[in-house]
A and B are shown apart, each in its own frame.
Chain A
Amino acid sequence: MEIFKKTPNIDFLKYKWFALALTIAIILAGILNITVGHGLKMGVDFGEGTLIRVMFKEPVSVSNIRQLLSDVGLGDSVIQESGKSGREFQIRTVEARSTRQTSEELESHQILANKVISALQSKEDQQRLAQGLIDLNNIDSRSLTALLMEISPEQGEELASRIMTYRNEHSIIVDWSELKKEPVSLPDEVLNKLQSRTFLGQMTVLSKETVGPQAGKELRKKATQAVIWSLIAMLVYIAFRFKGMEFGAAAIFTLTQDVLICLSIYSFTNREINLPIIAAFLTIVGYSVNDTIVIFDRIRELKRTMRREPLEKIMNLSLNINLTRTIITSGTVFIAVLALFLFGGKVINDFAFLMLVGTIEGVYSTVFMACPVVLFWNQLFKKQKKVRK
C-alpha cells in the first residue's frame, strides 16, 4: 500500500512565509501567556506545595470541593478532576508562604495538606473520627491487620488481606454489603464487630506527594542541567554531522522552535510542569532533530547529482521523497502515544499530552520550517559569495 501512488510533488517552500508567521504567532502568544498571562504552572516536583489525589464514594463537582476548601482558607488550591467518574480529583496546595520556616519547610507544606484532607471529610466522618472510630477507607494495611487480629484472632490476618486486596482494586469501599459478598466474604459476626469500631469514610486519599522547597530547588537545578547538557550534546552532534554552517544553524533553529512551540501550547492548557514533562521535552527534541537530519542528508545527497538545479527545487524534492517516511514514522509514534494518552491514566496524562503535541509539531517543523531556515541563512550570509562566482 502507498500513501502516494508516486512521489508527490508538493511545493512546501511556497508556504515558508505562512509557516514562519504561524510559528512566530504561536511562540509570541506563548511568551505573552507565560509572562503576563496565567504563566507556566510549576508542579509539585519543583517544590510547589503538596499534590493530593483523592477519590469520593459519590460524584462531586469541582466547585463543591473549592467551597469546602474555601471554608478553611485554602480556596486558591489547584483542583482538577481526573478520570471520568466525577469521583476522582487531584488537588495541589499552593506554597505555604506565611508559615514558611527554614527548619521545618516540609512540615509547613504538610500541615496545609492535612488541612485539605480533613476539609474534604464530611461532618459525619469527622464526628466519627472524634468518637474514636477508625475510617476503613483510609486505614493502612498494618493497622487493619492489627484491628482484625483483635476481632478474630484465628482469621484476622487472612480477612485483613482480603479486605485490603478488595480496597486496592476498587480504591474505595462504598457500602458494607460489598464486604459480605465474594471475594471478601466477611463472616457476619466479624462484620458486626468491625462495624462497631470502624466506618466507611466518604473519601479516600490515593496519594500524597510533597517536595520541600530545598529539594524542589535541587530538582529544578537537575532538570535544568539535564536540558542544557542534552542540548549541548545535540549541538555537538549536529556540528559533527554537518560541515555546512547553514544546515547546522537550521537544525539548531528547528530544535529551539520545537521547544518553544511545545512550551507555548502547553502553557495554554491547565497542566503543570513536572519532571516527566522535562523528560518529554528532551524526547521530542531528540526525535525531531533526527527527522530534520534525515531530510538534510537527502538534500546533500541530491545536491551532488543535481548540481545545476536551484536549492529550493532540491529541497522540495527531498521533502517529497521523504514525505511518506516522515508521515509513517511519526504516525507509528503517534499511535503509541495516543494509546498512552487515552488509556494510560491520569498520572501520566500530562506527559502523553505533551508527547502528542510534540509528535505533530515535529512533523510540522521538519516539513515546513527546517528548509526555509537554510534558505534565509543563505540569503543573509552568502549573497556576496554568489555574486563573486
Chain B
Amino acid sequence: MKKNVKWRIGLTLAVIALCIFLVYPPKEKIKLGLDLKGGTHLLMQVITDDAINVETDQQIARFEEVFKKNNITFTRATKEKPGQFYFEGTSADQEGKIRDLIDQYTRDWDYTFTGDRVNFKLKQTAEQYLREQAVLQTLETIRNRVDQFGVAEPVIQRQGSDRIVVELPGIDDPERVKNLIKVTAILEFKLVKAGPAPDEQTLLQEFGGKVPDDAEVVRGDPRRGLQGYYLVSKVASITGKDLRSVRRGTDEWNNPAVSFTLTPDGARRFEQVTGQNIGKQLAIILDGKLQSAPVINSRISDSGIIQGRFTPEEADDLVVILKAGALPAGIKYLEERTIGPSLGTDSIRQGLMSGLVAIFGVMVFMVFYYKLTGLNAVAALLLNTLLTFGALSYFKATLTLPGIAGIILSIGMAVDANILIFERIKEEMALGKNAGSAINTGFSRAFSAIFDSNLTTILSGIFLFQFGTGPIKGYAVTLICGLVANLFTAVFVSRLIFDLTVPTNAKKLSI
C-alpha cells in the first residue's frame, strides 16, 4: 500500500510550491473587495428610453423636412410615445409617393396608413440595437470620465441588460464623482435673443407672450450666480461635438475657466456666427442650463473660453466631462455603498484576528483530542488554508469580509473529514485490527461520507454564487474553494502523512 509514495510526495510539494507562488506576496496577489480596502460602489441604470426618445424626435424632424421638400401635404406630426409617432392630414393620392420616400430614407421604422394618417413604429430589432448602443456608449463615456478624473484601479462593468456597476477604490466622498458621472454634458452655444428677465412673462412681452418658433427659453444656472430667464435661438451654433480640445484656463480676471479649441468645421461655423453677430450675446448652455452669456466683441474663429464663476474643482470637472463627451442617455443611481478606509482596515484586522483564533482553537482541539494523529489534521488544515488562498489568487477572485467568514467557516468544516476518518480508524482498532489496516479501512469507508458532507454545502455555495452580488459572491467562492481543497488535503495529503509516519505493521497509534 506504500507504493507510489514518491510521486505522491512530489505532487503534494508541487501543489504547495504552486500555492506559495500564487499567494506570495499576498499584498499584491490577493485582490481585496471594497468592503476591505474602502471605496465607493455605485450601481446605476441607463435610461435607454432616452435613446429611443432622441431617435423618435430626430425622425419626426427629418420627415417633416423630407415631406416639405417633396411637396407632401400634412397638417402636423405627433409623438405618441418613444418609438411611435404619426403624421396627420396626408392625402390618399400621395400614399405611393410617401411609401417611396420612407423606404428611401429609413429601414428602421415600420409604417402603416390609416385614413389620413401615416403611423410610424420603430422596429423591434432597431429598438434593441439603439438600447444596446446607448448602454455601450454610456459605459465608454463613464469609463473616460472616471479615467480623466483619475482614480486608481476603478472597476466599470456592465451588469445585466441596462445596469452599470462602478467601483472606485479609495473614494470616500462620492458626491463629486457621482455628479461627474451623472451629468449628461450636452454643451451648446446659442445666440441670445432676449433676456435676462426675472420671469418668463416679462421675457416674452415683446414677442406677444409667445415663444417664437425659432427660439426657446432657458434658465440661468443658479450655481453660476445666474437667476434670470433668457430667450435663445433654437438651433445651436456649435455644440460639444465641435470641440477639439479642452483644458483648464483662466478668464481675464484670473478666475478659473475652461478654454477650448474647435475642430476646423466647428471653427468655420463659429467664425460665421460671431462675425455676423458682433455686439450680441452668445449663450453657453450646459444640459439646458445657461452658464454664461458673454457679449461677442469680435469675430472668433477656433478658440474661446467658458467662464461662469467656477470654483477650481468645478472648472476641473467641466474639463473632464467635456473631454469624455456627452452621455447618450440619462442615468439613474440604484445603489450606493461607501465604505470608509478606516472601517475596511478594521475589518481586515478583525477578520485576521478571528481567523487566527479559529485556526488555533481548532488545531489545539484536534491535538488535544487525537494526540499525535491530531497533528496530521493540523497539517492538512494549514495546507487547506494555503490552498484556498492559492485558488482565490488563481481565479483572480476578490476577497471580501463575508469571504473571510467563508474561509473561517471552511476551517471549522474542513476537519470534519479528518474526524470522520479518525473516528472510523478508532472503531476499526477497537475491533482488534492493527494500526496499518485500521487506517486503510478508515480511509476507504469514510470517503463516501466525506464526499457527501462536502457536496451539500458546496451545492448551497453554488447557488449563492449564482444569485449573490459582490460580497456574497466572495463568501460563496471562499467556501467552495475551501471545501474542494479539503477533499485534497483530508483524503490525499492526510493519507500520505499516515503512510510516511506509521509503519505498515504498527500495532498502536497515538489517536
Residues of A with Cβ closer than 8 Å to B?
1, 53, 103, 106-107, 110, 139-143, 164, 167-171, 204-212, 214-215, 219, 222-223, 225-226, 229-230, 233-234, 237, 241, 275-276, 278-279, 282-283, 285-287, 289-290, 293-294, 297, 324-325, 328-329, 331-340, 342-345, 347-348, 351-352, 355
Contacts and interface: CB of A to CB of B under 8 A. Distances in A.
Given A170-B342, A211-B335, A332-B362, A286 B460 contact: yes
B423 A275 contact: no
A110 B456 CA distance: 41
Interface stretch (B23-31, B233-241, B365-373, B496-504): B365-373
Contacts of B452: 241, 290, 293-294
The 9 closest A-B pairs by CB, nearest first: A336-B412, A345-B350, A140-B173, A333-B412, A226-B467, A286-B460, A339-B358, A215-B334, A343-B354
B357 interface: yes
Given A339-B408, A344-B405, A332 B351 contact: no
Contact of A339 (B339, B361, B453, B464): B361
B457 A279 contact: no
Contacts of A282: 460-461, 463-464
B333 A212 contact: yes
Interface string B460-497: 11111011110110011001000000000000000000
A283 B460 contact: yes
A211 to B, nearest CB: 5
Contact of A343 (B343, B353, B464, B479): B353
A283 B479 contact: yes
Contact of A209 (B173, B336, B351, B354): B336
16 contacts: A53-B343, A106-B335, A171-B342, A211-B337, A214-B334, A230-B460, A275-B471, A276-B405, A283-B409, A283-B457, A285-B460, A325-B423, A332-B413, A335-B358, A342-B354, A351-B402
Interface string B335-347: 1111111110111
A212 B402 contact: no
B396 interface: no
B343 A215 contact: no
A347 B346 CA distance: 10
A256 to B, nearest CB: 15
Contacts of A53: 343
Contacts of B416: 329, 332-333
Nearest to A104: B332
A339 B472 contact: no
B449 interface: yes
B-side binding surface: helix, strand, loop or mixed?
Answer: helix
A282 B475 CA distance: 12
B420 interface: yes
Contacts of A214: 45, 334
Contacts of B456: 234, 237, 286-287, 289-290, 293
Contacts of A344: 350-351, 353-354, 404-405, 408
A215 B333 CA distance: 9
Contacts of A355: 409
A52 to B, nearest CB: 10
B411 interface: yes
Given A169-B345, A279-B475, A347 B340 contact: no
Nearest to A289: B456
B419 interface: yes
B459 A206 contact: no
A352 B453 CA distance: 21
Contact of A229 (B172, B365, B463, B475): B463
* From A210, A331, A334, A348, residue with most partner B Cβ within 10 Å: A348
Contacts of A171: 342-343, 346
Contacts of B340: 204-207
A110 B336 CA distance: 9
Given A106-B333, A334-B412, A348-B405, 19 more contacts: A1-B370, A139-B173, A168-B341, A206-B342, A210-B336, A211-B337, A226-B466, A234-B459, A275-B469, A276-B472, A279-B402, A279-B468, A282-B460, A293-B456, A335-B365, A338-B361, A340-B354, A344-B408, A347-B401
Interface of B: 35, 38, 43, 45, 170-173, 332-343, 345-347, 350-351, 353-355, 357-358, 361-362, 365-366, 368-371, 401-402, 404-405, 408-409, 411-413, 415-416, 419-420, 423, 449, 452-453, 455-464, 466-469, 471-472, 475-476, 479
A222 B471 contact: no
A170 B38 CA distance: 15
B472 A275 contact: yes
A237 B339 CA distance: 40
Contacts of B469: 219, 222, 275
A332 B365 CA distance: 8
A282 to B, nearest CB: 4
A357 B223 CA distance: 55
A347 B358 contact: no
B338 to A, nearest CB: 5
B415 to A, nearest CB: 5
A-side binding surface: helix, strand, loop or mixed?
Answer: helix
A332 B104 CA distance: 76
A332 to B, nearest CB: 5
Contacts of B458: 286
B172 A140 contact: yes
Contacts of A286: 456-461
A285 B464 CA distance: 13
B56 to A, nearest CB: 20
B308 to A, nearest CB: 21
* From B404, B455, B460, B469, residue with most partner A Cβ within 10 Å: B460
A331 B361 CA distance: 11
B411 A336 contact: yes
Nearest to A275: B472
Given A106-B335, A276-B475, A343 B463 contact: no
B342 A343 contact: no
A47 B51 CA distance: 28
A351 B340 CA distance: 21
Contacts of A205: 340
Contacts of A351: 402, 405
Nearest to A281: B460
Contacts of B461: 282-283, 286
Contacts of A103: 332
A366 to B, nearest CB: 12
Given A237-B456, A336-B358, A143 B472 contact: no
Contacts of A208: 336-338
Contact of B463 (A139, A170, A226, A337): A226
B342 A168 contact: yes
Contact of B170 (A110, A141, A169, A294): A141
A287 B457 contact: yes
Contacts of A209: 336-339
Nearest to A209: B337
A174 to B, nearest CB: 14
A335 B459 contact: no
Given A140-B172, A143-B173, A293-B456, A230 B463 contact: yes
Contacts of A324: 423
A290 B460 contact: no
Nearest to B423: A325
A214 to B, nearest CB: 6
A147 B459 CA distance: 52
Nearest to B338: A208
Contact of B334 (A106, A290, A339, A340): A106
A1 B371 contact: yes
A370 to B, nearest CB: 14
B459 A233 contact: yes
